[in-house]
Amino acid sequence: MGDEVQIFEDYLRKHSLHLTAPRETVLHAVFGTHEHFTADDLIAHLQRAGTPVSKATVYRTLSLLSECSLLIEHDFGQGKKYYEHASELQHHGHLYCSDCGRISEFYDPRLNALQDKIARQEGFEPVQFAVKIYGRCADCAAKRVRRDAGAIG
């Protein structure tokens, strides 16, 4: 981590804000993980680490990190936002398990080529695209099969 701090400081300065100690704590926690996370996940992590930060500060800092393009927000329709690092993004999609909430990523260059082809055909300049596939992960699908088999027998 290094560039993220500078980008965030520059963004804050441009908006007449400061990198306060609580914001810096959130920043380091955010870039200390490489998983998708929610604000509540981050708050719980900070509490377990003995560095509690107010809920308002966490939510506002996540918003600022998204505004300055360091984080990407995802809404999987569950009433909460999930975040991931924008710097690690290669055009990829997400598989969201509707049973357990697991998020997996996938990358397929054919999907990117198709997206680029469609955009060119339509005279459209893409900035970002999101592919989200909802369903059941292999573990949850297997549990469902076992549960259904038990209900039949």
Between strands 71-75 and 81-85, the pairing is antiparallel
**Residue 84, number of CB atoms within 10 A of its CB:** 21
Domain ranges of the chain: 1-89, 91-153
pLDDT at 88 over 60: no
pLDDT at 45 over 60: yes
Q: Rounded to an integer, what distance in angstroms lies between the CA atom of residue 56 and that of residue 26?
A: 11
Confidence class for position 97, pLDDT limits 50, 70, 90: very high
pLDDT on residue 149 = 81
Whether 21 contacts 51, CB under 8 Å: no
Confidence class for position 86, pLDDT limits 50, 70, 90: confident
Q: Which fold has domain 91-153?
A: Dna Ligase; domain 1 (3.30.1490)
Show the tokens assigned to 36.
């998708």
Show the tokens assigned to 83.
């975040």
pLDDT on residue 99 = 93
33-42, 104-113, 130-139: range with lowest mean pLDDT: 104-113
Q: Rounded to an integer, what distance in angstroms lies between the CA atom of residue 53 and that of residue 121?
A: 48
Q: Rounded to an integer, what distance in angstroms lies between the CA atom of residue 37 and that of residue 34?
A: 9
Confidence class for position 129, pLDDT limits 50, 70, 90: confident
Q: Which fold has domain 1-89?
A: Arc Repressor Mutant, subunit A (1.10.10)
What average pLDDT score do residues 7-32 get?
Answer: 94
Question: Is it true that 1-89 and 91-153 share their CATH fold?
Answer: no
Q: Rounded to an integer, what distance in angstroms lies between the CA atom of residue 10 and that of residue 23?
A: 14
If 0-12 CB within 10 Å is exposed, 13-18 middle and 19+ buried, where does residue 41 land?
A: middle
What average pLDDT score do residues 58-74 get?
Answer: 94
pLDDT on residue 89 = 57
Q: How confident is the model over 5-16, as pLDDT tens digits?
A: 999 999 999 999
